[in-house]
Amino acid sequence: MHRRAFIGSCASGLVTVGTVVEGQPASRIYRVGILLGGTAQDAAPLLRALVEALRVLGFVDGRNLTFESRYAGVRLERLPELAAELVQLRVDVIVTGSNPFVAAAHRATLTIPIVFVAAADPVGAGFIASLAKPGGNITGLTTDASPELFAKNLGLLTEIVPHLTRVGVLRQADRSAGGLAELQAAARKRDVVVEVVDVRDLDELAGAFSTMTGKRVGAVIVFGSVFYLRRQELADLALNHRLPAIHVLRDYAEAGLLMSYGPNLLDLYRRAASYVAKILGGTKPADLPVEQPARLELVINLRTGKALGLTIPQSVLLRADEIIQ
């Protein structure tokens, strides 16, 4: 989002929130629960974006807002325990990330509002009834700009990888199938075979790449954000197996994947602030439509391209929002 547009949206949000907050007790301090993976250091840039946007909306950490943060590291089995802690603390809202984190928060509470920032296919995952009318206690922002996003990722790979006839899809095993049907339809039109490889545990990443190499795939599309904490390992495996790979988040291209095409995660956290502010102002999550990213960016890691022996066509380079040299 352009800076001017973001400030404008925050300013309009401030008017709405300010009107509601005037009716609240002056001494009220709201508690925001954070449920994420990794460590506080890993999450610092994302939370900084959230905190700064909340400040614009009149919610200031240490003044009328406090944060209760819980981080699972790479041990996703701890999520139920951490979500339960936030519920016991009676936080006013829980901010979380991708599908495994949303699922843990959802199982822990059906009453405390939950704002997700990077859920994939939240309708198919069973988190909400629909994008327009979420229902229940969950809403937020999805990484899915449209079901065709992964088909567009395939199109980019076919422009860059010569004679691509077989593509691997690396996917979290319990992820919903949103986007896969559109990808397969696009692949059939291009005479490309799709090989889906499901990963049930993050420690299976190395085996998954060996499986894809055995299936003779020429490139990889990574589904979902559960691999976020292992994106460096994922990028190293892709390079070691000589596989050009793409993800929707730029963070993966920065880690060493060939490219990314999708939303900016920092932008999503900034925009999540308006959801938190409205909920703290009294709006129910059920009445807040889920937002899809309006702006997508193409990031190309030219270093990885050279290491893979690929020549990126000028037509693709000209469309890139950023090129990592």
Residue 9 is predicted with a pLDDT of: 43
Contacts of 293 (CB under 8 A, 6+ apart): 141, 142, 143, 145, 262, 263, 264, 267, 268
Tell me the mean pLDDT in the region 278-289. 96
Q: What's the mean pLDDT in 32-55?
A: 95
Candidates 3.40.50.300, 3.40.50.2300, 3.40.640.10, 3.20.20.80; CATH matching 149-262+297-324: 3.40.50.2300
**Which pLDDT band holds residue 1 (cuts at 50, 70, 90)?**
very low
Q: What distance in Å separates the CA atoms of residue 79 and residue 91, rounded to the nearest whole number?
A: 16
149-262+297-324 shares the fold of 3-144+264-287: yes
φ, ψ at 222 (rounded to 5°): -95, 120
Backbone angles phi, psi at 297, to 5 degrees: -130, 145
Q: What is the pLDDT of residue 176?
A: 56
Do residues 106 and 80 touch, judged by C-beta distance below 8 A? no
Residue 165 structure tokens? 């006839």
pTM for this prediction:
0.84
Distance in angstroms (rounded) separating the CA atoms of residues 91 and 33: 6
For residue range 87-135, what is the model confidence (pLDDT) as tens digits?
A: 999 999 999 998 889 999 999 999 999 999 988 889 988 999 999 999 9
259 neighbors 301 (Cβ within 8 angstroms): yes
The pLDDT tens digits of the residues spanning 177-197 come to: 567 888 899 999 999 999 999
DSSP notation for 233-267: HHHHHHHHTT--EEESSHHHHHHT-SEEEE--HHH
CA distance 17 to 146: 30
- 8-state DSSP, 294: S
> What's residue 298's pLDDT?
97
* Tokens 């880690």 found at: 255
Residues 325, 322: Cα–Cα separation, whole Å: 9
Quick one: CA dihedral 164, 190, 183, 271, positive or negative?
A: positive
Mean pLDDT of 208-220: 96
For residues 120 and 172, what is the distance between their CA atoms, to the nearest angstrom? 11
- pLDDT range class, residue 146, cuts 50, 70, 90: confident
Asked if the 3-144+264-287 domain carries CATH number 3.40.50.720, the reply is no
> For the chain, which residues make up each domain, given as ranges?
3-144+264-287, 149-262+297-324
Give me 194's structure tokens. Answer: 């799709």
Question: Cβ neighbours of residue 316 under 8 Å, at least 6 residues apart?
Answer: 156, 159, 160, 298, 300
Q: What mean pLDDT, rounded, does the chain reach?
A: 88
